[in-house]
């Protein structure tokens, strides 16, 4: 179970009420709301993927007559997560979910402002662009056009099935959610100028599954030329070999599967053998959207060579372990895990991640999973990208009040989001059993850190370089000199540490890729 299920746990942003100017898109006129920053919500960028369009590449968006009032978010894509558990206020769910939202400060269409496109997280099974944490007004007030995007999730977005591959002219199946993201980027290329945006200065941006999506788009030939910068935060499992999640146990009658309702399909999936085996519907190597394993593509230099920022948090793994109810709570269970994961190299793993007690084993497990699922991938992607363009590595180490409240040993997955958005009241956990109210307890250090991170992100979107006046000096990444910028109690440059662990994981991943799939 992916940690990013947490993305469900935030509350939706409120819709504006004041109608602003109309804008002409390729599908028709839209009107938005807001003052200073105009907001256009729920604009379709593709046709509803329902009926015969379920499990097909996104089709062109519908046309309409008159003015479409775009003041409410579109529905969340269907997802099989208990809202009772989540305690969240998600919008209604519907397969008619391929919409995007635009915040623009532009006063006229020819301003050509840089564009930041947000891809939400949620483990590819959950979440929505309408969650409060993704509100783009703060970025827009600093001269950016901000766009957030919904895309198909779970079985709707990532079912790979031989029958679907047989009907595809590309002999490919799965990755429909990634195709949605690419379709949204194409829509932006064709339409964003009408909102004052510059189609030649588009940066894609995401955390967790959103950060992973950014990495997959970097190596997808279908996304070439659609964006000009990339920011990947706490991407998960980028260098783990991709496995094809085949849903053959759902049946081979695709027409029948397309005919049943969304909730019935979610129920069917929950009762399937795939669910019992713990299979997640995730991006796959399909030979078209992703022509090969992303790790192999990065290592071979087959990527869209744009400037990139990437990084991780100190304790990225802790929320995953908390949510999955990890059973590894003793030194004996920890050693058994190392053996099952690393085989003959388990002894070396124990040397690098040593534990002599139950408490130490739980701490070391978090460190290992953070390295394995997050840090190694970010580091490897950055080294690959640095061969083609500017690459900047960050490490978020500030032990924020929310992470402390939740009892972690450092900043957990998603802890950086309020800092990046420049609004410490934003959290992935707001409105949940974890954090019923707004985040509290931030001090001057947190506020200064938020200003610096938000400023660097804005500067990068505008120029392709996070360095600028009144911003900390951020060194470039080079494989021969792997420097990063630490956002912690202080902001300072450092050189890569934990190199013995990274060398060990390099060998581990090489063995995995060489093993029969």
Mean pLDDT of all residues in 488-498: 92
pLDDT for the residue 246: 64
227-247 residue pLDDT tens = 999 999 999 999 988 876 666
Better-predicted residue by pLDDT, 271 or 138: 138
Residue 7: pLDDT band with limits 50, 70, 90? very low
Distance CA 204, CA 224 (A): 13
Q: How far, in Å, are 231, 332, 341, 359 from residue 356 at the CA level? A: 38, 10, 19, 8
pLDDT for the residue 160: 92
* Res 82 pLDDT > 70: no
pLDDT for the residue 326: 67
Structure tokens that stand for 88 in this block: 């969240």
| Phi, psi of 343, rounded to the nearest 5 degrees | 60, -125
Which residues, at least 6 apart from 65, have a Cβ–Cβ distance to it below 8 Å?
28
Q: Coil, strand, or helix at residue 374?
A: helix
Q: Count CB atoms within 10 A of the CB of residue 488.
A: 18
| SS3 per-residue string spanning 89-154 | CCCCECCCCCEEEEEECCCCHHHCEEEEEEECCCCCCCCCCCEHHHCCHHHHCCCCEEEEECCCCH
pLDDT for the residue 271: 76
Mean pLDDT of all residues in 100-108: 95
245-279 residue pLDDT tens = 666 677 778 999 999 999 999 988 887 755 544 55
Q: Coil, strand, or helix at residue 356?
A: coil
Residue 497: pLDDT band with limits 50, 70, 90? confident
Looking at the chain, the whole-number percentage of residues with pLDDT higher than 70 is: 88
pLDDT for the residue 314: 94
| Residue found under tokens 């990068």 | 460
Alpha carbons within 13 angstroms on the beta-carbon side of residue 481 total 3
pLDDT for the residue 452: 98
pLDDT for the residue 88: 54
300-331 residue pLDDT tens = 999 999 999 999 999 999 867 765 656 788 99
pLDDT for the residue 476: 96
362-393 residue pLDDT tens = 999 999 999 999 999 999 999 999 999 999 99
Q: Coil, strand, or helix at residue 201?
A: strand
323-354 residue pLDDT tens = 565 678 899 999 999 999 999 999 999 999 99
Q: Count CB atoms within 10 A of the CB of residue 256.
A: 10
Residue 86: pLDDT band with limits 50, 70, 90? very low
Contact 42/145 with Cβ under 8 angstroms? no
30-48 residue pLDDT tens = 999 988 899 999 999 999 9
pLDDT for the residue 436: 61
| Phi, psi of 341, rounded to the nearest 5 degrees | -80, -45
Domain extent listing, the chain: 3-47+86-245+280-324+375-496
pLDDT for the residue 389: 96
Most confident of 75-89, 242-256, 404-418, 440-454: 440-454
Structure tokens that stand for 477 in this block: 């990444």
* Res 2 pLDDT > 60: no
pLDDT for the residue 433: 59
* Res 180 pLDDT > 90: yes
Residue 515: pLDDT band with limits 50, 70, 90? confident
pLDDT for the residue 83: 37
* pLDDT, mean over the chain: 89
pLDDT for the residue 273: 57
* Res 85 pLDDT > 60: no
- With residue 338 as reference, give the H or E element that holds it: helix 331-342
CATH code for 3-47+86-245+280-324+375-496? 3.40.50.1820
Residue 109: pLDDT band with limits 50, 70, 90? confident
**Rounded to a whole number, what is the largest CA-CA distance in the chain?**
70
Q: Return the ∠ at Cα 212 (arms to 419 and 240), rounded to 5°.
A: 130
* Res 462 pLDDT > 90: yes
* Res 17 pLDDT > 50: no
Nearest CA to 8 out of 77, 70, 71, 54 is that of: 77
């Amino acid at each position: 179970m992916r940690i990013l299920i947490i993305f469900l746990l935030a509350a939706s942003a409120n819709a504006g009420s004041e109608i602003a100017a109309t804008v002409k898109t390729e599908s028709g006129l839209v009107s938005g709301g807001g003052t200073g920053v105009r907001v256009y919500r729920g604009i379709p960028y593709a046709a509803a993927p329902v009926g015969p369009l379920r499990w097909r590449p996104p089709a062109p968006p519908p046309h309409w007559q008159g003015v479409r009032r775009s003041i409410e978010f579109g529905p969340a894509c269907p997802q099989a997560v208990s809202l009772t558990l989540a305690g969240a206020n998600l919008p209604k769910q519907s397969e008619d979910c391929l919409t995007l939202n635009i915040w623009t400060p532009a006063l006229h269409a020819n301003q050509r402002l840089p564009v930041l496109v947000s891809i939400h997280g949620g483990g590819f099974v959950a979440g929505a662009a309408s969650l409060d944490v993704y509100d783009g007004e703060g970025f827009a007030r600093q001269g950016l056009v901000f766009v957030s995007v919904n895309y198909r999730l779970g079985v709707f977005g990532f079912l790979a099935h031989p029958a679907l591959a047989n009907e595809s002219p590309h002999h490919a199946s799965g990755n429909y959610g990634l195709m949605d993201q690419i379709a949204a980027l194409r829509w932006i290329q064709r339409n964003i100028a009408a909102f004052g945006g510059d189609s030649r200065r588009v940066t894609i941006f995401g955390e967790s599954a959103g950060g992973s999506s950014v990495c997959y788009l970097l190596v997808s030939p279908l996304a070439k030329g659609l964006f000009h910068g990339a920011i990947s935060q706490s991407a998960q499992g980028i260098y783990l070999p991709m496995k094809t999640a085949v849903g053959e146990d759902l049946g081979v009658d695709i027409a029948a599967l397309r005919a049943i309702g969304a909730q019935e399909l979610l129920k069917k999936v929950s009762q399937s053998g795939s669910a019992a085996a713990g299979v997640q519907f995730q991006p796959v190597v399909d030979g078209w959207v992703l022509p090969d394993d992303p790790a192999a593509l990065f290592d071979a230099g087959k990527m869209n060579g744009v400037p990139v920022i990437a990084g991780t948090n100190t304790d990225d793994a802790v929320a995953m372990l908390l949510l999955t109810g990890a059973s590894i709570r003793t030194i004996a269970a920890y050693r058994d895990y190392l053996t099952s994961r690393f085989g003959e190299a388990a002894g070396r793993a124990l040397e690098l991640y040593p534990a002599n007690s139950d408490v130490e084993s739980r701490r070391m497990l978090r460190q290992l999973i953070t390295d394995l699922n997050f840090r190694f991938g970010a580091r490897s992607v950055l080294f690959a990208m640095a061969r083609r363009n500017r690459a900047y590595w960050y490490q978020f180490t500030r032990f924020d009040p929310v992470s402390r409240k939740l009892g972690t040993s450092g900043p957990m997955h998603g802890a950086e989001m309020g800092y990046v958005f420049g609004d410490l009241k934003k959290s992935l956990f707001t409105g949940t059993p974890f954090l019923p109210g707004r985040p509290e307890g931030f001090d001057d250090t947190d506020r200064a850190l938020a200003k610096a991170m938000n400023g660097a992100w804005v500067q990068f979107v505008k120029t392709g370089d996070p360095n600028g006046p009144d911003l900390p000096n951020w060194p470039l990444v080079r494989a021969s000199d792997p420097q990063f910028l630490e956002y912690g109690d202080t902001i300072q440059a450092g050189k890569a540490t934990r190199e013995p662990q990274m060398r060990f994981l390099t060998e581990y991943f090489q063995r995995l890729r060489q093993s029969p799939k």
